[in-house]
Structure 1
Amino acid sequence: MRIKKIIKLMSVGMLVVIILGFVGVFPVFSKSSEVTVLLQMRSGPEATAMEPVVDYWNKHYAASTGIRVRQVTISRMGYYVKLFNQLVSGTQVPDIVFPFGFGIGKIIEYLEPLNSFIEDESLFSSPQGNRYDIKDMFPAMLESVTLNGKIYMLATDVSAPLLYYRTDLIKTPPQTWDEFIEMAKKFTKSYNPDSPTEYGTVWMAKPVLDDTLCWLEIFWAYGGSFFKEGSYEPNFNSPAGIKATEFLKKLSDSKVIPPDVVTYEYPEVLAALQTGKVAFAIEWNAAYPDLTNPKKSPKVYDKIAITNPPGVKQADGSIKRVVETHCLGLSINKNSQYKREAFKFMSWVTFGEGAKIYLDNGGIPPLFSLFTAPEAKSPLPEMAEAVGKYGRAIPVFKDQMTVIFMNTKHLNKVFIGEETPEEAMENFNNEVYELFKERGYFEEK
């Protein structure tokens, strides 16, 4: 009788241990209290890539975690205005939003800081309880969404301007920005009538976003910074700002680019490479699938390589390169009722098996483990070096987008001859200073 009692007590004890073991994996969530987390995406390839990720989670983990995810996709047209209005209104849904990395400053006060969730092993871990490693993500991705030490987004996609070149024409791509122009002359018919291409290169010079983001790779390589150290005082009229802008002036004056280059952004640069109009160019990493597709790029699909952008030679002979990099990603609405549940799903999407599913469906999750995996295909290994080693992000501040568009206006004036590089940077710097003065930046830092 006593033995039976002991066995019974042992059985109960084992059951408690087993239950506690499961609670260790799922400490907060249970099937009996299932909640639905609303994820809002912007229409486009990212939303399409996210759909199978959400489906997989719901099929495999909704029951065990008590977290079900519902994806809602809204139009790209006016997306950020809609997102801003939603968050400002104080609505509790969507729980998870999909901002743009360098536009996060404007909405950051409406987003939940993620640091405490990342530090919580029960949340920053797989549904099976395996801890994720924050260092697996490219440092620049975290830098791009961090303000005062607080992280506000986990990146799902990385974007960077890289150097594409024709391998049948170029053995060694240009290593410095000076070499960039000299090599472009070699492949421009006005300099070399035997050139196989009409122009050596092209540039995203349309006054939108791309021109500034590409310019930053030169600006930073020359040692430039947005602000003077320890302050929000703009530093664009520095020698680095002038030299970077002089490069664009020299590029334009040398006529190694098409004369209508001020109308060029991503699609036009892509077309110039696809048609064999140019030998090399700075273009977004997103172009790689199209440029290596036999149907979309029959002239060059097997003759295109991707590498780091050029840089600036230093006194010791080394080359300083910087890759402008930014991200798309997931953030938590500060007014969400289900912040912990939202983060559990988010961490799985960005660091767990969800990231691999997202990658397989067209996403570009910036993880070293995925980009350097044995089965990784171009351009992932190349991007692991470019973004992982040389990546740099625009600093986070409220008026990021406003400042970017101010710069594009002045870069455009340089291209069309309305301002010198010195005038452009001086005027740009003054405009930013006045904007910051008006909005109280100098009282904040």
Structure 2
Amino acid sequence: MILKTCLRASVAALAMLASGAVNAEVTVLGWPGGPEEAALRAVTELYNAKPDVTADNKVELLFTSRDGFFDKLQVDLAAGSTAFDVNLIATYSIGRYAPFMEPITLSDEAGAVFGDTVLKTMQFDGKQYGVPTDLSLHFLYYRTDLIDALMADDAAKAKYGEISEKYLGKKMEPKAPADWTWEDFVANALYFTQSINPDSPTRYGTVIQAKNLLFNMMVFHSWPRSYGANWMDDAGNITVDSEGYRTALSQAKMLFDLGATPPDSTSYEYAEANAAYASGQVAAMVQWNAAAGELTTAQAATGTTAPPAGPDGRFTHIHGLGLGLNKAAENKEGAIAFLQWLSTEEAAIAYAKAGGAPGLAPETAAKLAADRPDLVQVGEYASTYGFVMNGGTAEKALSVYEAQAKEFTGYWAGTQDLDTALKNATAAMTDLLK
């Protein structure tokens, strides 16, 4: 998952660091630490070595603390800081920065390299504000050993049918997870919960991270979206009080009420949910693609596929990090040249090989199958199932997630009913997105 914390550096500190660039006239403010920094350093070295990049257009990288990054960045941009020409942006914060940045034109290769869905993660009001560099989306993780055993056992399949008929009103048969709907996800979770099925090899059928936290809402969003839900319609009307949200919220509530997710999962976020799955006490879960290495190491018999489908199809929430142009940049020409190159296949492949996680179109990702097989799956899912809610790049998008987290987790925890949760969410979103 893209990390949630950010930058606390003063404009003066940024200027001091930037002034250290002797022959580098394009200063890029990057995401410090982790694979994002390593990958950006690698492609910058490649770019600076190109014979057509003159000394006064070479790139110098600037990294500061992750702590408070996005809040401080907004202050620096609004103040017209010239300490950097290019800066980091994220899907859910583009609207905050758009007034202080300039839209950019990417290379002619960008559409084929990333695909339209991934490019839209860096768009606001129909304009391209950045080059996508790293992408986060969701996988359905499941225990292959448990699913295989279930599907090979007639008595177990009969029990599965009895449980689904009792709680979902229909006799269902187990399926391969790649074919699951959300009803299948719920039925599977109930079957693999010991309080419902004493013969279950796991204590819980799933784990839903439901702490009052905006990033947990992002994990949940693929569920209502598959039932046709959105934040608002094309006219700007808030549409959260919809059958799509009601269905998804109610299905999740059933899992809480029936004990199919740990009883304290209303306090869970990324780490706690992963720990529950890694312990062997959970049969399946929806989680960020970043957890793949951790979960498959902890449970070797783990498969991954796209999140379950609903009546409107199969979807996964996506958001990304990217780089865009500071309106106050002192070397816009050099900055634009770097950003355009960064959107080429040459740069995207180099970034991926250096450890980054770009969302690549299937044809581009296929060229990395030997080095980064995980990106093949990420690219396929992003291109085929990825979505950004209508309003998901707005100035106050993060506040929308926070408002939903407050109301929806309250409903799941039993402190308010569904009507109240949706009424409150609608009021908050109307104020935030008007």
The two structures have a TM-score, normalised by structure 1, of 0.80
**What percentage of aligned pairs have identical amino acids?**
29
CA displacement 1:75-104 (0-9 Å, x = unmatched): 111111111111000112311111211111
Counterpart of 1:383, as a letter, is V
Of the three residues 225, 229, 237, the one matched with 2:241 is: 237
- Residue 95 of structure 1 corresponds to which residue in structure 2? 85
Equivalent position of 1:228 in the other structure: 233
Corresponding position: 1:392 with 2:387 = yes
Query: Per-residue deviation at 1:327?
Result: 0.6
- State how 1:225-374 maps to structure 2 within 5 Å: 225-230=230-235, 232-293=236-297, 297=298, 300=299, 302-313=300-311, 320-368=313-361, 369-373=363-367, 374=369
The correspondence of residues 404-443 of structure 1 with structure 2, limited to 5 A, is 404-436=401-433, 441=434
Q: Distance in 2 between matches of 1:349 and 1:261?
A: 41
Partner of 2:169: none
TM-aligned CA distance change 1:59 to 1:39, over 3 Å:
same
Query: What does 1:6-85 align with in structure 2 at a 5 Å threshold?
Result: 36-45=25-34, 46-61=36-51, 63=53, 67-85=57-75
Structure 1 window deviating more from structure 2 (417-426 vs 370-379): it is: 370-379
How far residue 63 of structure 1 moved from its aligned partner, in angstroms, is 4.8
Bigger CA radius of gyration: 1
Amino acid at match of 1:152: Y
| Corresponding letter in the other structure for 2:145 | D
SS of equivalent residue, structure 2 residue 49? helix
1:135/1:343 Cα in 2 relative to 1: closer, same or farther (>3 Å)? same
Summarize the Cα distance change of 1:306–1:415 in structure 2 as closer, same or farther, 3 Å threshold.
Answer: same
Q: CA deviation at 1:158?
A: 0.7
Match of 2:94 in 1: 104
- For residue 62 of structure 1, report the CA deviation from its aligned partner: 6.9
Distance between the aligned counterparts of 2:267 and 2:130, measured in 1?
A: 33
Q: Using the alignment, how far apart are the partners of 1:135 and 1:218 within structure 2?
A: 29
Q: Cα offset for 1:205?
A: 0.9
| Alignment partner, residue 124 of structure 2 | 147
Contact 2:89 2:323 in 1 (8 A): yes
- SS at structure 2 position matched to 1:398: coil
SS at match of 2:347: helix
Whether contact under 8 Å (2:121, 2:319) holds in the other structure is yes
Q: CA deviation at 1:290?
A: 2.3
Gaps of 5+ in 1: 1-33, 119-123, 125-130, 315-319
Structure 2 distance, partners of 1:147, 1:37, is: 24
**Separation in structure 2 between the aligned mates of residue 62 and residue 287 of structure 1, nearest angstrom:** 40
The 1-side partners of 2:247 and 2:352 are apart by 38
1:401 to 376, 395, 398: 398
Q: CA deviation at 1:376?
A: 5.7
Q: Is the 8 A contact 1:94 1:336 kept in 2?
A: yes
Q: Against the structure 1 CA distance between its residues 101 and 207, is the aligned structure 2 distance closer, same or farther, given a 3 Å change threshold? A: same
Query: 1:204-219 residue pairs with structure 2 within 5 A?
Result: 204-219=209-224
Query: 1-side partners of 2:423 and 2:250: how far apart?
Result: 13
Does the CA-based 8 Å contact 1:163-1:307 persist in structure 2? yes
Give yes or no for contact 1:62–1:68 (8 Å, CA) kept in 2.
Answer: no
Give the Cα–Cα distance (whole angstroms) in 1 for the partners of residues 432 and 47 of structure 2.
45
CA contact (8 A) 1:236 1:428 kept: yes
1:237 to partner: Cα distance: 0.9
Task: Tell me the number of residue pairs that the alignment of Structure 1 and Structure 2 aligns.
Answer: 380
Look up the equivalent residue of 2:245 and give its one-letter code.
G
Q: In 2, are the aligned partners of 1:187 and 1:279 still within 8 Å (CA)?
A: yes
- Whole-Å separation in 2 of the counterparts to 1:206 and 1:287: 18
Aligned partner letter, 1:132: E
**How far 1:343 moved relative to its partner?**
2.4
Alpha-carbon separation, structure 1, partners of 2:296 and 2:253: 31
How far did residue 65 of structure 1 move?
7.5
How far apart in 1 are the matches of 2:51 and 2:422? 53
Q: Structure 1 stretch 132-141 or stretch 101-110: which is displaced more?
A: 132-141
Contact conserved, 1:184 with 1:200, CA < 8 A, in 2?
yes
CA-atom RMSD in angstroms: 2.1
| 2:184 corresponds to 1:179 | yes
Q: Using the alignment, how far apart are the partners of 1:53 and 1:244 within structure 2?
A: 42
| Cross-structure match for 2:4 | none
Contact 1:165–1:279 (8 Å) recurs in 2: yes
Change (3 A) 1:77 1:425: same
2:137 counterpart residue number: 160
What do residues 350-408 of structure 1 show as CA deviations (whole Å, max 9, x unaligned)?
A: 43322222212221111224422343644323223321111101333221111111111
**Which secondary structure state, in structure 2, belongs to the residue aligned with residue 144 of structure 1?**
helix
Preserved CA contact (<8 Å) 2:228 2:311:
no
Aligned mate of 2:200, from 173, 177, 195? 195
Report the Cα offset of residue 278 of structure 1: 0.8
Counterpart contact for 1:306–1:382, Cα < 8 Å: no
> How far has the Cα of 1:422 moved from its partner?
2.1
Cα distance in 2, alignment partners of residues 138 and 276 from structure 1: 37
What is the alpha-carbon distance in structure 1 between the residues aligned to residue 185 and residue 323 of structure 2? 37
Secondary structure of 1:328's partner?
A: strand
